[in-house]
A and B are shown apart, each in its own frame.
Chain A
Amino acid sequence: DIQMTQSPSSLSASVGDRVTITCRASQNIGTYLHWYQQKPGKAPKLLIYSASSLQSGVPSRFSGSVSGTDFTLTISSLQPEDFATYYCQQSSNTPGTFGQGTKVEIK
């Protein structure tokens, strides 16, 4: 199985901060990498698909990029509603695997 290593596991940030979350794949997955936001008791919500495409309805402060097997989710200016847990997911190989998550907390 492809391992997805997400970092950091948690971070504290303030409203307005620029936040970066990284996901590294254990092998080449092309751009078959997606990012989700999850709030407690809710289903994950798709933010970015295919490494850098913004899902419809998602604010433009969210962006994704890739360099080799390293993928980055950036929130350009953190808003109060962005405090949540973020997961990456690869769909290059079966089984599709998720990262262990990054919890973004209020500083």
Chain B
Amino acid sequence: QEQLVQSGAEVKKPGASVKVSCKASGFIITGYYMHWVRQAPGQGPEWMGWINPNSGGTKYAQKFQGRVTMTRDTSINTVYMELSSLTSDDTAVYFCAREKGLMSAVTTGAFDYWGQGTLVTVSS
């Protein structure tokens, strides 16, 4: 069965960077767009961007342009999200999610499988 398992919680100081991993099992990531979504405490989810694991192509929300980098390692079926120049406003749970529908067919923009979330705390 399809599953996404993320790396553990992180505590970072302002100005630092964080890199979160998301390992897929039960499916091959090169067949699907993979997204990153974050959720600040008590807030709704916020979309950050996607990566096409087949080509390595990415699309980021303008809000995160220049600070976020999404990459993949197809040999271990894993995607990564790195966020730099962290501030306290970046304290949130970060999720990876799979877009429903094969890239080669019809995609929906909906997210049918999610990782368990990674809490990133930014504090001095």
Residues of A within 8 A of B (CB): 32, 34, 36, 42-46, 49-50, 55, 87, 89-92, 94-101
Say whether B115 contacts A43, CB under 8 Å: yes
With an 8 Å Cβ cutoff, the count of chain B residues facing the other chain is 21
Closest to A4 in B: B44
**Cβ-closest 10 pairs across A and B:** A91-B109, A43-B114, A49-B110, A34-B110, A95-B61, A96-B47, A98-B44, A98-B45, A100-B44, A95-B47
Say whether B111 contacts A44, CB under 8 Å: yes
Quote the shortest CB–CB distance from A56 to chain B (angstroms). Answer: 8
Say whether B46 contacts A98, CB under 8 Å: yes
Verify if B112 is at the interface (C-beta below 8 Å from A).
yes
By a CB distance below 8 angstroms, the chain B residues around A42 are: 117
